[in-house]
Amino acid sequence: MRKACVFLHGVGGAGRIWRPQVEHFSGEYDVLAWDAPGYGGRDPIAQFSFEALAAQLDSDMGKAGLASASIIGHSFGGMVAQQLVKDFPHRVQHLVLSGTSPAFGKPEGDFQQKFVAARTKPLDQGKTMAEVAAKVAPSLVATGAPASAIELAIDCMSQVPEATYRSVISLLTTFDLRANLGEIKCPTLLIAGSEDNTAPAAMMERMAARIPGAQFSMMPGAGHLAPIEQPGQFNQIVEAFIS
């Protein structure tokens, strides 16, 4: 049976943001670059919840003939991956979490309120998703990130329907699976960018320490969008782990 990889994108992404990974892994692996409901032209689900997203991913893996796979989740996708390994552990051979966290914190927290406001206030003021993307995406990468990475991030984020974006931004504030970290049984790797201010490396290292046997890897000079900022290095780290 061929090995498989499933890649899960962030809030402003889509399955196609994993283009560098799809090109790299497709030779040896069956690859699914998943579009979450509401993304990539898919219809949204009636009620966004992490449980519902994990259930949809479970269903989609089944339809794709993937009994289990190495699950690589970035940011919001890393949260979906954590929900999947909790609810459908048989689907997960290896778990790779990039630029994510085990909890977003309290909805009323200062950081959380600023995060949500920074992303929804421009829409409230009449800005388009393309205008939001042009401002937000460059702030997520490290200094000196290649223009191609920024362009891909802006292009993907511009195509996210506003309703989906608002729903998922709001959903983030509900996430908290800290209590499940110690229950993760599969081999797990956490990857952090040294310049990631959204999911700081120090936080991800503490997260790794709470997962039995987990490994932690930091990518120097990478920001929050490490998989597309430094795809060669990211792919090498992931491949060494899952192989």
Identify which of 122, 129, 114, 128 has the alpha carbon closest to the alpha carbon of residue 197.
Answer: 114
Separation CA 160–CA 132 (nearest Å): 11
- Output the CA angle 71-212-53, nearest 5 degrees: 35
Range of the domain at 187: 3-242
Positive or negative torsion for Cα 150, 114, 7, 158:
negative
- From first to last of its 243 residues, the chain has per-residue pLDDT tens of 689 999 999 999 999 999 999 999 998 999 999 999 999 999 999 889 999 999 999 999 999 999 999 999 999 999 999 999 999 999 999 999 999 999 986 666 777 778 788 889 999 999 999 999 999 999 999 999 999 999 999 999 999 999 999 999 989 988 999 999 999 999 999 999 999 999 999 999 999 999 999 999 999 999 999 999 999 999 999 999 999
Separation CA 167–CA 239 (nearest Å): 33
Q: What is the pTM of this model?
A: 0.96
The per-residue pLDDT for 118 is 80
Distances (CA, A) of 160 to 80, 92, 168, 203, 235: 18, 27, 11, 28, 25
Please report, for the domain that includes residue 90, its CATH number.
Answer: 3.40.50.1820
The per-residue pLDDT for 94 is 98
Separation CA 44–CA 26 (nearest Å): 28
Count structural domains, the chain.
1
The per-residue pLDDT for 119 is 83
The per-residue pLDDT for 157 is 97
The values of phi and psi at residue 183, to 5°, are: -95, -5
